[in-house]
Structure 1
Amino acid sequence: MKPYFAAYEARMPARVPAHSPRQAMLWQVLAGATIGLAVWYLHWRWTASLNPEAMVFSVAVAAAETLGLIGTLLFFYDIWREGDTPQAAPPETRAQAGLAGDGAIGVDLYLTTYDEEVEVVEPSIRAALALRVPPGTHLAIHLCDDGDRPEMAALAACHGIGYFRREGNRGYKAGNLRNALFRSGGDFVAICDADTRVLPSFLENTLGYFRDPKVAWVQTPHWFYDIPEGTSWESWLRRRLGPVGRRIAPALAPALRRVTGIQRLGTDPFRSDAMLFFDVIQRRRNRHGASFCCGAGSIHRREAVFSGALQHQAGAATGLRNRARPPLPARLGRMLKIAAMPWLRHARGPRPAPYQRAAAFLRGAEMQPFRYHVSEDILTSIHLHADKAAGWTSVYHPQVECRMLSPWSIDAWTTQRLKYAGGTFDIMLRENPVFRRGMDWRKKLHYAATFWSYLGTLWAPVLLLAPAVALAFGVAPVRAYTTDFFLHLLPMLVLNELAMLAACKGYNIHHGRSMAIASLPLQLKAVWAVVRGKRPRFPPTPKTPVISPSLRRVMPNVVLLALMGASLLWALLRHAQNDPDYGASMLVVNSFWLAWNMSALAQVVLAALWRPETADPQEPAPLQPALPT
């Protein structure tokens, strides 16, 4: 039986365009106007609109709005303008790549796997074998199996690639990478997950950035090629209504598209398309060399990876002893540096004795080239970005060079969201880069934008529940819903919407907003776990879906939807009874606000109930580009 993703194998990404100067100017003008109106609104909010009859509630909502504005300012800074790094041809000699010695430039490509099936891993191996290798470069492909499975060893042998296994799973993916790094010697290391299908141009289009010897890694976008296309209204009506549906579909389907704004049902149910994050946020952070590593689809300079690990190891060692003691002896430092130098692997003959001694020392010290953390990619990025002495920088390559599989079940989606949130909160609490010495303030602001967006989990529930509280208890967060209220609020909201449309290059901005609200219960769960001192877990995101519609994973959303719906019914009843606390303006404003929040919360509930539609022979395939052009 063919795997589900076999039907999507022919999908290929389109080229991702840059922001034109005219688009960039429009976005920046609208963003500036939005900020001005937001400051004006908040000034009015704090000085003229607080409700004295419900002061605690009113202040709580105003405070949440203020904190939200800070997040908007950080986000606008984050995406203010693009700054792509000029692309160069791949280096043909080691000197052109900032490497010592003679011979070919060595590249190791790691395919990391733990419990994925052969049907998931084998296409990734075939894609890696089809890479075009630039002149002067030697490529070695390794299957890094953290599950120690005979079928994976046989798969690697069948395709003639390297196979690495290890005892135990300490450090999970980061530990798996560490094991591979100590068993290979390429100058550069490309990291791929089990489902990462690299495009043939991957090395040709990324190695050129390493002509700058200070470039530590290059990150490419994550493009999910298996995102469900959904089904048309015509097909849905035919299936649900039978002969009646076939008769009315031609007339009713266009009307449903216009009224709902939904072109196809079931398209990207988990809102997995990540190109808004990669092509807007990551791409624009590149102007300050601040785009962080996202794991798969990245390629790293081995020297930089070991340099960051050595610095952390030395800091940990001196911290464990005594801060007043001198740093590690120079002789030991030289041994560690030798162990990190990749070019010794290319020397003829056996390895020098110092290399062997240093490697043995490092193995015993449990050195972590990639930190043992659920978010090892961003944490390693922070350490390298903060290494002022080395001056490491990163490059974001804007064009898609890898195809990947998206979450196709509610279990996979929740696992992924919990991992992202837990890892980010853990770093924020224990290794926050904003307070780290050595990092440039511009990079700190970019990291601050990421952390602030997650911190929104603490005050977003206030805005989420505010309309339900208002409708349930007949209290308003503002003094009155007067013309003055609308004159201050509506221009800011309209300008903000126009600014986001201009900034985001045609990507759907509502999907991200709705899923941010829908995932609030999961993020609160992650916050509570981290605050209690519980370190985030390392579960891999399931790659093969088990489609079984269930609300078990999203019960908090279901409960919230029920409570919100009850508050609306109660408010309608009180309004019908002419209760003075439930005037028309109060009811309309809060009902609209409530409906928006409920529609966002319902997204993940619908995703939990989603199951793939079977093919409809009467329905043509949708003619949609993979990415905006």
Structure 2
Amino acid sequence: MTTLDSRPPTYTPGQPGPFDTDVLTAEAPDPPADPDAAFSRRLAAAEAARAPALQRSTRAPRNPGVGVRTQSPSLVMLVLIATLGILAYASFLLNPESRGDWLPYTMVIIAEMILIVQALLSMWTILSGTHDPREFGFHQAKSALFDEGAVGSPNDRLYLDGRPIFVDVFITTYGEDIDVIRRTVDAALRIRGEHTTWILDDGHSDDVRDLASELGARYVRRLSSGGAKAGNVNHALSLSSVDYFAIFDADFVPSEEFLVETVPFFSDEHVAFVQTPQTYGNLHNVISRGAGYMQAVFYRFIQPGRNRFNAAFCVGTNVVFRRTAINDIGGIYTDSKSEDVWTSLMLHERGWRTIFIPMTLAIGAAPDTVEAYTKQQLRWATGGFEILLRHNPLSPKRKLTLDQRLQYLVTASFYLTGISPLLLLLVPPLEIFFDLRPVDLQTTVLTWVLFYAGFYLVQILLAFYTMGSFRWETLMLAAASFPIYVAALVNVLVGKEQRWSATGDKSKASSPFNFMIPQVLFFVFLLLTSVVAIWRDLGNGVPTLAMAWNVTNTFILGSFVVAAMRESSRQRQNSKARRVTAESPRTARSPRKAALTS
């Protein structure tokens, strides 16, 4: 069954309506005199909480052509230094004179080579990120985007090449909290430029249906949930015939200027989609900060660099598509839960152009629980491994340029870097229990540390420069996520179907420990190994690198366990509060009855 209501009502500026509520908080303050300025202030606050350096580079510019910064000489210098450090470390590891016992040495070589290759390709992509996609055609199209005399109305008709265009804004939902959906829908209705806002509800919620009716958005409910999010969007496209459509996850609140800053790119008839970053406004705990900052370098440097190679890919939300491009590939790709990158790959193979702009035009929520983070990373990693093993970008069958092949190879193999920590975590115990060393005994600790620092410490220095700080939460999640990526790889190898789950769905929150049994077991193992190592070194009177390395790994993995314990404690408190709230109406007495019985 499909439920489809009429077009949303028009809105007259200055009159009460759906544009008079705050788009970033659950509470609605008094309507601001300048809604655009209010959004900018909230946007700046969210970005400031995220990272000082990111705030400077991704705020929506007020003047045309400003906002895509070229790489500074300092950044270029740091990237070159980091590249030299990577090469020096690789030469040290591959030097036969450094080779130790074959088992730990092989584990280190496999793990570090994965990291080194990914780091080198990332440096190459970052250095390529000087290209500004805003060319003359963009500025010309933006200047003629609205009919003269009508500028200022939220429902202005949009024009490209002198003809009116029609845009649908799709908001996909699947069990998210109703207040979260309300904020996104309310903000979507306020986007400048005439458009129709749709709620695509795969959660089959009557509350969401009533919300759509209340706010004046179209509502669509499918009979089944086949194809997950991709099937949801394709179903809506079968009911729509517009020129362009935007997609927002239920927890990403768009700026009023979203269409203004993206639609002009479609003056180039070869552009299939325009993607904007995922910026997060809920970095309030260890998990959300780690997950949020983990994506920051990708959106600030990697995706812009991909513009140079026409290899920027869709990330599933905060994106606007050309309808004819999606028709050309038969719709949004449905055979993977990572429909975004697969759809991008299909478009690139058909010769379409894609664009990424590093301008924050929507603010959303990063996963802030172990469960949400695990499910998100499992979905993303599965999509990457599917491309690597089932659709090898290097195959001559793929109609891609050499640059695109390399970029998709990096994307498909990236989550192998998440498996590398598993190998590195096992190296110190091999020395502690079996006296097996990854490097030759003649190699001094100082030599090892110098080459090791040349690789890792320069990476940290680069993070300080690009992000304004080094986030230990990111290091923690990177080290603790290996069971997720191993599971994703195994799922692809055996063909196991992954169940779809929305990142923001908290309707059935489970204990974090249900999703991190391997991490807990590894932490216990490393803790016991550290005790053995410290006892051994105290007996020998000489501290060893293996002991220090293992203790460090224990603290990193232990911090993840502590974060899960705190999350579990919050869940119990929230559950208790809900029970008290639910029981209070049954136990409370009315004032009249209380007076009669007193």
Normalised to the residue count of structure 2, the TM-score between the two structures is: 0.76
SS of 1:141 mapped into structure 2:
strand
2:288–2:369: 8 Å Cα contact kept in structure 1? no
CA deviation vs aligned residue, 1:350-369 (integer Å, no higher than 9, x gap) = xxxxxxxxxxxxxxxxxx43
**How far apart, CA to CA, are the structure 1 residues paired with 2:560 and 2:195?**
42
**How far apart, CA to CA, are the structure 1 residues paired with 2:507 and 2:257?**
29
**How far apart, CA to CA, are the structure 2 residues paired with 1:3 and 1:294?**
22
2:381 corresponds in structure 1 to 421
**How far apart, CA to CA, are the structure 2 residues paired with 1:185 and 1:369?**
15
1:294–1:378: 8 Å Cα contact kept in structure 2? yes
Amino acid at match of 1:86: R
Q: Does 1:379 align with 2:363?
A: no
Q: Does 1:57 align with 2:77?
A: no
1:521–1:557: 8 Å Cα contact kept in structure 2? yes
Q: CA deviation at 1:510?
A: 4.5
Q: CA deviation at 1:377?
A: 0.5
2:155 corresponds in structure 1 to none
CA deviation vs aligned residue, 1:255-311 (integer Å, no higher than 9, x gap) = xxxxxxxxxxx58455334322211222222222211100110001111111122xx
2:318 corresponds in structure 1 to 297
**How far apart, CA to CA, are the structure 2 residues paired with 1:494 and 1:517?**
14
1:475 corresponds in structure 2 to 436
CA deviation vs aligned residue, 1:392-420 (integer Å, no higher than 9, x gap) = 11111111000112223222222212212
- Label 1:49 to 1:74 Cα distance change in 2 as closer, same or farther (>3 A): same
**How far apart, CA to CA, are the structure 1 residues paired with 2:25 and 2:392?**
39
2:151 corresponds in structure 1 to none
Within-5 A mapping of 1:496-511: 496-497=458-459, 500-501=462-463, 504-506=466-468, 508=470, 510-511=472-473
SS of 1:369 mapped into structure 2:
coil
1:393 corresponds in structure 2 to 353
CA deviation vs aligned residue, 1:121-151 (integer Å, no higher than 9, x gap) = 1111110111111xxxx31111111233333
1:463 corresponds in structure 2 to 424
Within-5 A mapping of 1:248-267: none
Q: Does 1:443 align with 2:404?
A: yes
Within-5 A mapping of 1:529-544: 529-544=491-506
- Label 1:516 to 1:128 Cα distance change in 2 as closer, same or farther (>3 A): same
2:76–2:127: 8 Å Cα contact kept in structure 1? no
Within-5 A mapping of 1:179-190: 179-190=235-246
Structure with the bigger RCO (C-alpha within 8 Å, sep 6+) is: 1
**How far apart, CA to CA, are the structure 1 residues paired with 2:438 and 2:455?**
18
2:190 corresponds in structure 1 to 130
Selected match of 1:79 from 126, 139, 148:
126
SS of 1:602 mapped into structure 2:
helix
**How far apart, CA to CA, are the structure 1 residues paired with 2:446 and 2:374?**
42
Once the two structures are overlaid, the 10-residue window that deviates more, 587-596 or 158-167, is 587-596
2:23–2:187: 8 Å Cα contact kept in structure 1? no
Q: Does 1:593 align with 2:549?
A: yes
Q: Does 1:139 align with 2:190?
A: no
**How far apart, CA to CA, are the structure 2 residues paired with 1:197 and 1:49?**
53
- Label 1:512 to 1:77 Cα distance change in 2 as closer, same or farther (>3 A): farther
SS of 1:120 mapped into structure 2:
helix
SS of 1:289 mapped into structure 2:
coil
2:577 corresponds in structure 1 to none
Within-5 A mapping of 1:144-223: 144-223=200-279
SS of 2:394 mapped into structure 1:
helix
1:98–1:213: 8 Å Cα contact kept in structure 2? no
1:174–1:371: 8 Å Cα contact kept in structure 2? yes
**How far apart, CA to CA, are the structure 1 residues paired with 2:287 and 2:516?**
20
1:5–1:226: 8 Å Cα contact kept in structure 2? no
Q: CA deviation at 1:563?
A: 0.9
Once the two structures are overlaid, the 10-residue window that deviates more, 396-405 or 553-562, is 553-562
SS of 1:395 mapped into structure 2:
strand
Q: CA deviation at 1:175?
A: 0.7
Selected match of 2:538 from 576, 582, 590:
576
Within-5 A mapping of 1:332-411: 368-387=331-350, 391-411=351-371
Once the two structures are overlaid, the 10-residue window that deviates more, 597-606 or 285-294, is 597-606
**How far apart, CA to CA, are the structure 1 residues paired with 2:212 and 2:503?**
22
Q: CA deviation at 1:457?
A: 4.4
**How far apart, CA to CA, are the structure 1 residues paired with 2:480 and 2:460?**
23
Unaligned runs of 5+ in 2: 1-21, 29-38, 48-54, 58-68, 147-157, 574-598
Q: CA deviation at 1:189?
A: 0.7
- Label 1:526 to 1:577 Cα distance change in 2 as closer, same or farther (>3 A): same
Q: CA deviation at 1:567?
A: 1.4
1:412–1:545: 8 Å Cα contact kept in structure 2? no
- Label 1:521 to 1:219 Cα distance change in 2 as closer, same or farther (>3 A): same
SS of 1:67 mapped into structure 2:
helix
**How far apart, CA to CA, are the structure 2 residues paired with 1:441 and 1:111?**
35
CA deviation vs aligned residue, 1:323-363 (integer Å, no higher than 9, x gap) = xxxxxxxxxxxxxxxxxxxxxxxxxxxxxxxxxxxxxxxxx
2:388–2:413: 8 Å Cα contact kept in structure 1? no
**How far apart, CA to CA, are the structure 1 residues paired with 2:446 and 2:177?**
61
SS of 1:433 mapped into structure 2:
coil
SS of 2:43 mapped into structure 1:
coil
**How far apart, CA to CA, are the structure 2 residues paired with 1:104 and 1:496?**
51
- Label 1:79 to 1:4 Cα distance change in 2 as closer, same or farther (>3 A): closer
Unaligned runs of 5+ in 1: 231-265, 310-367, 615-629
**How far apart, CA to CA, are the structure 2 residues paired with 1:477 and 1:521?**
23
1:61–1:463: 8 Å Cα contact kept in structure 2? yes
Amino acid at match of 1:448: L
**How far apart, CA to CA, are the structure 1 residues paired with 2:311 and 2:389?**
20
Amino acid at match of 1:469: L
- Label 1:63 to 1:84 Cα distance change in 2 as closer, same or farther (>3 A): same
**How far apart, CA to CA, are the structure 1 residues paired with 2:208 and 2:453?**
59
Amino acid at match of 2:408: Y
**How far apart, CA to CA, are the structure 1 residues paired with 2:510 and 2:202?**
28
Q: CA deviation at 1:455?
A: 2.1
1:21 corresponds in structure 2 to 72
1:37 corresponds in structure 2 to 88
Q: Does 1:528 align with 2:490?
A: yes
Once the two structures are overlaid, the 10-residue window that deviates more, 457-466 or 478-487, is 478-487
Amino acid at match of 2:314: C
Amino acid at match of 1:453: F
- Label 1:160 to 1:64 Cα distance change in 2 as closer, same or farther (>3 A): closer
SS of 1:288 mapped into structure 2:
coil
SS of 2:354 mapped into structure 1:
strand
SS of 2:291 mapped into structure 1:
coil
